[in-house]
């Protein structure tokens, strides 16, 4: 038997698989000190670039709501006719600052909406799913995609080692290995909120939602060969800036899927599992508006590099779901910004809300605006007072023993069904051929061992035997 994982204090670790939750399906707990330690340390691994999503670009724009969805949410930015300024940052995930824009990778799709009720941040990707479903595994997953400790080289064997030992990754890895893993430009790809979120209306009725941002430019992808042939590390940054500067303003249609609150409990699979999509036959997309990017940043460092996005910025009418990955990100993202940019990162112009701030936080490095006395609550001197009624709709009952566990399985929960459906029902034969070629090229790297290649074949065979056979033949 190998060594037992410990905390950094040398204490045996409780789990490297599962975060601590209220029952199998409930929210995570702040008392999960091992999860907090892993995430807090991970957030501080790089100075000063982002530990993930380091390379990217962005632009300013405007959200326009064209449909009435007040029956689902009271959030001001989603009311009929409302226009809200926004900033959107695109990025690659694994590469460093100088990496190529065209590398095979998911693309970050992070939006900050400057609403009249404060900032609302949607921190998504160009994929509707992710590689894992529990944040306990997040830093380990990213480490497998980054550089080795000894050679300082990326290692495909490490990547396949993690993926093949984590079958929940199959859906996202299938997506990644198609040509959607190499988009032709940021303008020609969809964006997704990915997580499930809570919406509640003025009457307190609750709904579960997923966000879809459909590119109005149409989807365009590179093949592996086309992406490799691009002799410009900044190809996507240049493309977006050039398009906007020339008046060709890209836009996206904003759609949502809405699930009745009560339907989640016995839905055929876990609707909060980040490795799953909701079938459109069950919950069709509803168009609620569109957004357009119409202004380039004036200073890259001030507006793109120092931009901070955090899923914990939730305005009244919108709340978190018990998606464990989302629960982890509620802590991880603002904690990262406090380290990378500083505790007063929200005072920077790109991050500052457009409405007035009345906070009891004060001092700290790089303070620009401090509150006036009193600087504590409660007080009897007329200081600001919280209004819990604004968020009355974001609560729901949870029950269960405090445990470390996977989600309770629903009737149709499994790791291979949805990627199998992607192979069988969505991909064209050209898409399938390119998927196989991309897998074989990646898993055929010199550092990938013979034993690992066999595990790769088994991984894809579990999705579909024909896919596994074609990968086996290629390898």
* pLDDT tens profile 126-138: 999 999 999 999 9
Q: What is the pTM of this model?
A: 0.93
Residues classed as catalytic: 53, 125
467 pLDDT more than 70: yes
Q: How many domains does the chain have?
A: 1
Compute the average pLDDT of residues 275-301: 98
Q: State residue 82's pLDDT score.
A: 98
Q: Do the domain assignments include residue 367? A: no
243 pLDDT more than 60: yes
Per the prediction, the chain carries an average pLDDT of 95
Could you tell me the CA-to-CA distances from 133 to 41, 86, 366, 456 in Å, in that order? 20, 29, 36, 21
64-78, 227-241, 364-378, 421-435, range with the lowest pLDDT = 364-378
Q: Residue 250's beta-bridge partner residues?
A: none
At residue 365 the predicted structure's pLDDT band, cuts being 50, 70 and 90, is: confident
Q: Do the domain assignments include residue 279? A: yes
175 pLDDT more than 70: yes
Compute the average pLDDT of residues 436-463: 98
Burial letters for 438-447: b for 16+ Cβ neighbours within 10 Å, e otherwise?
bbbbbbeeee
Compute the average pLDDT of residues 82-96: 97
Distance CA 200, CA 211 (A): 15
What CATH number is given to the structural domain containing 83? 2.40.180.10
6 pLDDT more than 90: no
Residue 221's CB is within 10 A of a number of other CB atoms, namely 18
pLDDT (tens digit, 9 = 90+) per residue, 150-164? 999 999 999 999 999
Compute the average pLDDT of residues 5-34: 88
Distance CA 322, CA 22 (A): 10
Q: Do the domain assignments include residue 301? A: yes
Compute the average pLDDT of residues 188-199: 98
Q: State residue 315's pLDDT score.
A: 95
Q: Do the domain assignments include residue 394? A: no
Q: Do the domain assignments include residue 459? A: no
* Biggest distance spanned by C-alpha atoms of the chain: 76
> DSSP secondary structure string, 72-132?
T---GGGSTT-EEEEEEEEEESS--TTS-TTSSS-EEEEEEEEETTEEEEEEEESSSS-S-
Q: Do the domain assignments include residue 474? A: no
Give residue 201's Cα distance to chain centre: 25
- Residue 255, phi then psi, degrees to nearest 5: -120, 155
Could you tell me the CA-to-CA distances from 57 to 228, 237, 247, 261 in Å, in that order? 20, 6, 18, 36
Q: State residue 58's pLDDT score.
A: 98
Q: State residue 38's pLDDT score.
A: 87
Q: Compare 430 and 41 and report the one with higher pLDDT.
A: 430
455 pLDDT more than 60: yes
Compute the average pLDDT of residues 442-458: 98
Compute the average pLDDT of residues 186-195: 98
Compute the average pLDDT of residues 46-68: 92
Distance CA 94, CA 398 (A): 36
Which residues fall within 8 angstroms of residue 378, CB to CB, at 6 or more apart? Answer: 385
369 pLDDT more than 90: no
Q: Do the domain assignments include residue 389? A: no
At residue 14 the predicted structure's pLDDT band, cuts being 50, 70 and 90, is: confident
Which ranges of 106-252 would DSSP assign to H, the alpha helix?
138-145, 156-164, 170-177, 224-229, 235-245
Compute the average pLDDT of residues 320-341: 95
At residue 1 the predicted structure's pLDDT band, cuts being 50, 70 and 90, is: low
Q: Do the domain assignments include residue 396? A: no
47 pLDDT more than 60: no
Domain of 207?
Answer: 21-154+183-355
% of the chain at pLDDT higher than 70: 99
Q: State residue 3's pLDDT score.
A: 86
At residue 362 the predicted structure's pLDDT band, cuts being 50, 70 and 90, is: confident
């Amino acid at each position: 038997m190998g060594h037992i994982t410990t905390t950094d204090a040398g204490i045996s670790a409780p789990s490297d698989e599962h975060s601590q939750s209220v029952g199998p399906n409930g929210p995570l707990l702040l008392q999960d000190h091992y999860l907090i330690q892993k995430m807090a340390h991970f957030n501080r691994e790089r100075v000063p670039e982002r530990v993930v999503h380091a390379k990217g670009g962005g632009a300013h724009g405007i959200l326009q709501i064209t449909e009435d969805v007040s029956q689902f949410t009271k959030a001001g930015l989603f009311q009929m006719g409302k226009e809200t300024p926004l900033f959107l940052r695109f990025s690659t995930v694994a590469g460093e600052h100088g990496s190529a824009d065209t590398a095979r990778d998911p693309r970050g799709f992070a939006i900050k909406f400057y609403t009249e009720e404060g900032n609302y941040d949607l921190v998504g990707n160009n994929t509707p799913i992710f590689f894992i479903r529990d944040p306990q595994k997040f830093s380990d997953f990213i480490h497998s995609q980054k550089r080795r400790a000894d050679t300082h080289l990326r290692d495909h064997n490490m990547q396949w080692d993690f993926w093949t030992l984590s079958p929940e990754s199959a859906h996202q890895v299938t997506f990644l290995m198609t040509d959607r893993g190499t988009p032709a430009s940021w303008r020609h790809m969809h964006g997704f909120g990915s997580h499930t979120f809570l919406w509640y209306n003025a009457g307190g009725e609750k709904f579960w939602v997923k966000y879809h941002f459909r590119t109005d430019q149409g989807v365009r992808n590179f093949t592996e060969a086309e992406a490799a042939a691009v002799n410009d590390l900044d190809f996507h940054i240049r493309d977006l800036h050039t398009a906007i500067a020339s008046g060709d303003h890209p836009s996206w249609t904003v759609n949502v899927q809405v699930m009745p609150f009560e339907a989640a409990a016995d839905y055929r699979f876990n609707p909060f599992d980040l490795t799953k999509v909701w079938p459109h036959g069950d919950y069709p997309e509803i168009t609620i508006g569109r957004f357009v990017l119409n202004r380039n940043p004036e200073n890259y460092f001030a507006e793109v590099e120092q931009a901070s996005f955090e899923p914990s910025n939730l305005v009244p009418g919108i709340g978190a779901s018990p998606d464990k990955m989302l629960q982890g990100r509620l802590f991880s993202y603002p904690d990262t910004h406090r380290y990378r940019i500083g505790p007063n990162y929200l005072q920077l112009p790109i991050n500052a809300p457009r409405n007035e701030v009345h906070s009891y936080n004060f001092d700290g490095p790089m303070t620009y605006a401090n509150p006036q006395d009193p600087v504590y609550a409660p007080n009897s001197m007329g200081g600001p007072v919280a209004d819990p009624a604004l968020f009355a709709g974001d609560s729901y009952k949870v029950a269960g023993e405090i445990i470390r566990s996977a989600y309770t399985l629903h009737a149709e929960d499994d790791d291979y069904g949805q990627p199998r459906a992607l192979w069988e029902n969505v991909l064209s034969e050209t898409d399938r051929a390119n998927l196989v070629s991309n897998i074989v090229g990646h898993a055929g790297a010199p550092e990938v061992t013979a034993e690992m290649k066999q595990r790769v074949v088994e991984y894809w065979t579990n999705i579909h035997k024909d896919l596994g056979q074609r990968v086996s033949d290629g390898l």
